[in-house]
Amino acid sequence: MLSEQYRFKFFIEDVENNLSGANEKTAIVTSILLFERKEVFSGIVRVRLNEFGIFPVAEDISAFSEQLSIRRALAAEIRKYIKPQKRFL
């Protein structure tokens, strides 16, 4: 399990409308992983949004870190971050 000493910070940089789906958008999210208040990893994670849910792009998640537990935590935390903002994007 991921330690409580790890924290994520997110910031939505941009939102793009996709041409493939009428109600599908892609959010560009800057993601930062902090360990004991020091930056460990940072990068951009694209997140697809549609009426069915919130889907982080798997390639971006896997490029963020080698550790499987951090990847899983990142995917869960980014969904929790986007969910309350989804209707405003």
Q: What is the pLDDT of residue 2?
A: 62
Note the pLDDT of residue 89: 84
Q: Mean pLDDT in each 10-residue stretch from start to end of the chain (89 residues)? A: 79 89 88 92 93 94 91 95 91
pLDDT at site 59: 96
Residue 21, pLDDT score: 64
Query: For residue 74, what pLDDT is reported?
Result: 94
Encode 26-63: b = buried (16+ Cβ within 10 Å), e = exposed: bbebebebeeeeeeebeeebbbbbeeeebbbeeebbee
CB 29 within 8 A of CB 45: yes
